[in-house]
Structure formats: C-alpha cells, structure tokens
Structure 1
C-alpha cells in the first residue's frame, strides 16, 4: 500500500509515507522553521528537535491504526509533513488533517499540492467521506490553502487549541469528498 500512498508533487518533491529514518531530517526542517511555526503550534522544548526522540515518536505514530503520516521529501530531505489523524470508519468515515511546509520552501504551492493529493488518497484509497481541519483564527495562509483545496469553513471555535502558550480561537473547515455509501470505492 506504500506505493499507493506516494504521489509526485513536482519534479523534485514526493509526498510519501513517513519513515523512522526521516527523524533527523524532520528535526532539521522543524528547527529551520521554528519561528515560522511557533504562532501556530504548541510550544516545543529542546527534546522536540532531538532525532532519537523523533524516531521514537514516529515509530509510535506508525503503529496507530487511525493515523496516516506523510512527508514532503526532496530526495531524502524532509521539507514538510501532512497527517490524517483520528480516522474513524463506519458510517462517519472522517479524518482530521494537519500539515506544514519548511520555511525555506514556502511559496512553491507545496502545501496546496500535498493537501490536494492527500484528499484524493483519502477518497480513492482510504474510502473516507469527510476531512476536517482547523486553523488559528489569524492563520490566513493556511486558510487559503484549505479553500483552494475545496474545504469550506463551517464553524468558529473559541479557545479551541493550546497554541504558543495560550488557548487560541480556531476556524473549522471541512471537505466532503464524496456521497458514496460508507466504504464503497469510487465507480
């Protein structure tokens, strides 16, 4: 299934499943991007940037049956991630989406391309019906990505997530992928 979850985002960038040996490159990209990401993520201590810590965290993520993590990779260099988490099957067939792109790669359309491909995989392979996402209320860049990818804002949640040391307001988005019967593949 790994090859079915891999997509080309451009001549030099792949969207592919996360691997434990991505830990060191992930840490480098997170360190480079820490100032850009700080207003939109929980506060990170020094351990977050440690490859051994990340390898263990990645191994744990890969064991979950309700999470599918990807990296945006330029060769072996991690330049972002996309994750579907809290995947629920049955009649709901829903997942939560999270993503980020390395500060050195912002502006190339990679987030939009990656989210578009993950939505296609969620529809065609994972057979999901809906993907949800949230952004900090003032994160207009991420909101533009979601809107370009067919998401619609359906709500506003005051003090929704603890981000950068405070409870922050979030805009809530969703994308309905299809109206098929639950678990049915595309025609």
Structure 2
C-alpha cells in the first residue's frame, strides 16, 4: 500500500538502522506517549533486537508488524503492528502505531489502520481489534474514530508512560460477526 509517497510493508531486519534514526529523530515527539526506553533502544542493535523479537512473534502467529517507509528513499517514517493475537473464542488483537512527526497529518495512520484491520479480518481471522490512547491524546483518538474504532472503556493507571501510571481510553473495531473456526 502506498499513500502520499509512503509505502506500508512488512517489517524486515534491514529496517534496523533506519528505524534507529527515526526513533532518535522522534524521541522528544514520542516521549509523552511511550513507555520509558533505555538508551540501547535508540541504536541499530537495539532496533534489530526489537525487530527479531517481533518477527519471532509473527512466526508464532502472535504479531503482524509493518513499517511505513518513504517510497523515494526507503527510510522508515513510522510503524504499525497488530500484536497480542489471540484466537479461539476471543479472536482479538491489539494495534499500536506511530508516525514520524514530519509525516503527521497525511492520513498514514488512518490508512494503516484500515489495512491492518483488513488483514486482521481476512488473513488472520480476527473478530475484533483494539487500541488504547492516553486520555489526552486527542489526535490519536481522532485517527481511531476515522478508522471506524469506537471507544468502549477507560482503563485507570493502564500503562507506565512518561514517568507515571497513566489512564487510557480503550477503543475497538468489530470486524465481522462470524463464529470462530471450528476447533478454535
């Protein structure tokens, strides 16, 4: 999928250096909405370790990681991941995403959510997907609403973000009403 000069594709080990650069470039921008990250997270080796972990989860059927890359340069400008996949009677997963500050406002997150929801339904077989935002993260809440997510709850002190336990608004998108596969 390409939108406004950005391609969304599967995450690869070769993305480590570019993601490290993007994380350094966006460190202050993401800090208010992300958990604490050690210094190693912002290095190529740290990103490679994170990518290898995501790909192992993918191979186990627990994650589907994507990266947004500038179509002209191949440089990563964000990521979106379907993770915590649970099949059986729940058939659910969670979505997390971020977009480089310089690429915000172009519809990348909304388009990515649409594509991940399509893949979650058609390829993974999920019934629903969910996402959470800090209570004050109105921009992300607007993105989720545009992508068809509905708020379904408030989770007090849900994640440790920016030095404290923070409340989160919880959103979900129901993908279909079919029963889970037999035996699942």
TM-score class, shorter: over 0.9
Measured on the aligned residues, the alpha-carbon RMSD in Å equals 1.2
Distance apart, 1:180 and its partner CA: 1.2
Change (3 A) 1:137 1:121: same
In structure 1, the gaps of 5 or more residues are 1-7
Moved over 6 A (4+): none
Q: Could you give the per-residue CA deviations for residues 110-162 of structure 1, whole angstroms, max 9, x where no partner exists?
A: 11111111111111111110001100000000000101111000000111000
Counterpart Cα distance in 2 of 1:110 and 1:78: 13
Distance apart, 1:167 and its partner CA: 0.3
TM-score by length of 1: 0.91
Tell me the residue number matched to 2:64: 68
Work out the number of aligned pairs and report it: 177
Tell me the residue number matched to 2:125: 127
Distance apart, 1:183 and its partner CA: 3.8
Moved more, 170-179 or 37-46: 37-46
TM-score by length of 2: 0.92
Counterpart Cα distance in 1 of 2:14 and 2:125: 28
Distance apart, 1:27 and its partner CA: 1.0
